[in-house]
Amino acid sequence: MTHYDFDLFVIGAGSGGVRAARIAATHGARVGVAEEYRYGGTCVIRGCVPKKLLVYASRFHDEFEDAAGFGWSVGPASFDWARLIANKDKEIGRLEGIYKTNLEKAGVATFKTRAVLEGPHSVKLEAEGRTVTADKILIATGGWPTLAEGAHIEGLEHAITSNEAFHLKEQPRRIVIYGGGYIALEFAGIFAGLGSEVSVVYRGERVLRGFDEDIRVALSEEYARRGINLLTGRTISRLEKTAGGIDVALSDGTIVACDAAMFATGRAPNVQGLGLEKAGVEIGKDGGIKVDRQSRTSAPDIYAVGDVTHRFNLTPVAIREGHAFADSVFGKQAWHTSYDMIPTAVFSTPEIGTVGLTEAQARDPAWIAAHHPTLAGLGGEIDIYKAQFRPMKGTLSGRAERMLMKLVVDQRSGRVLGCHILGPDAGEIVQMAAIAMRMGATKADFDATMALHPSAAEELVTMRTKWTPPAS
Q: Is 107 left (phi over 0), alpha (psi -120 to 50) or beta?
A: left
Is residue 323 flagged as an active site residue? Answer: no
> Does the protein bind ligand NDP through residue 15 (CB under 6 A)?
no
Among 8, 57, 160, 183, binds ligand NDP (CB under 6 A): 183
Nearer to ligand NDP, 11 or 264 (CB): 264
Torsion of CA 386, 389, 393, 394, to 10 degrees: 150
- Within residues 251-290, the interface with ligand NDP by CB under 6 A covers 264-267
Q: Is 440 left (phi over 0), alpha (psi -120 to 50) or beta?
A: left
Nearer to ligand NDP, 276 or 346 (CB): 346
Collapse the DSSP code of 172 into the 3-class scheme (helix H, G, I; strand E, B; otherwise coil) and give the result. coil
Q: In what order do the strands lie in the sheet with 236-242?
A: 236-242, 245-250, 255-258
Q: Which stretch binds ligand NDP (CB under 6 A): 61-69, 87-95, 179-187, 251-259?
A: 179-187
> Does the protein bind ligand NDP through residue 180 (CB under 6 A)?
yes
Alpha carbon distance 271, 297 (integer Å): 13
> Does the protein bind ligand NDP through residue 348 (CB under 6 A)?
no
Report which of 23, 107, 3 is spatially closest to residue 332, judged by C-alpha positions: 23
Sign of the dihedral through C-alpha 380, 415, 294, 131: positive
> Does the protein bind ligand NDP through residue 306 (CB under 6 A)?
no
> Does the protein bind ligand NDP through residue 354 (CB under 6 A)?
no
> Does the protein bind ligand NDP through residue 149 (CB under 6 A)?
yes
Q: Which stretch binds ligand NDP (CB under 6 A): 5-13, 27-35, 198-206, 449-457?
A: 198-206
Report which of 246, 249, 244 is spatially closest to residue 234, judged by C-alpha positions: 249
327's enclosing H/E stretch is: helix 315-330
> Does the protein bind ligand NDP through residue 347 (CB under 6 A)?
yes
> Does the protein bind ligand NDP through residue 345 (CB under 6 A)?
yes
> Does the protein bind ligand NDP through residue 111 (CB under 6 A)?
no
> Does the protein bind ligand NDP through residue 319 (CB under 6 A)?
no
Among 71, 75, 129, 150, binds ligand NDP (CB under 6 A): 150
Nearer to ligand NDP, 193 or 379 (CB): 193
- Within residues 211-240, the interface with ligand NDP by CB under 6 A covers 235
Give min distance, CB of 315 to ligand NDP, in A.
8
> Does the protein bind ligand NDP through residue 418 (CB under 6 A)?
no
Q: In what order do the strands lie in the sheet with 382-389?
A: 344-346, 352-356, 416-422, 403-410, 382-389
Give min distance, CB of 20 to ligand NDP, in A.
20
Please spell the DSSP secondary structure of 207-269, one letter per residue.
Answer: SSTTS-HHHHHHHHHHHHHTT-EEEES--EEEEEEETTEEEEEETTS-EEEESEEEE---EEE
Give min distance, CB of 312 to ligand NDP, in A.
7
Size of the site for ligand NDP (CB under 6 A): 26
Residue 227 has phi, psi (to 5 degrees) of 90, 10
Alpha carbon distance 426, 4 (integer Å): 49
Nearer to ligand NDP, 331 or 427 (CB): 427
In angstroms, the Cα distances linking 120 to 29, 114, 437 are 18, 17, 41
Give min distance, CB of 95 to ligand NDP, in A.
17
Alpha carbon distance 185, 207 (integer Å): 8
Question: Would you give the distance in Å from CA 46 to the centre of its chain?
Answer: 12
Question: CB-based burial of residue 453 (10 Å sphere; 0-12 exposed, 13-18 middle, 19+ buried)?
Answer: exposed
Name the catalytic one among 61, 372, 420, 453.
453
Nearer to ligand NDP, 80 or 428 (CB): 428
Nearer to ligand NDP, 179 or 418 (CB): 179
Ranked by CB distance to ligand NDP, the top (closest) residue is: 181
Would strands 6-11 and 130-139 be described as parallel, antiparallel, or unpaired? parallel
> Does the protein bind ligand NDP through residue 199 (CB under 6 A)?
no
Q: Which stretch binds ligand NDP (CB under 6 A): 31-39, 143-151, 225-233, 383-391?
A: 143-151
> Does the protein bind ligand NDP through residue 184 (CB under 6 A)?
yes
> Does the protein bind ligand NDP through residue 179 (CB under 6 A)?
yes
Nearer to ligand NDP, 184 or 404 (CB): 184
- Using CB under 6 A, list all residues that contact ligand NDP: 148-151, 179-184, 186, 202-204, 209, 235, 264-267, 313-314, 344-347
**Active-site residue list:** 453
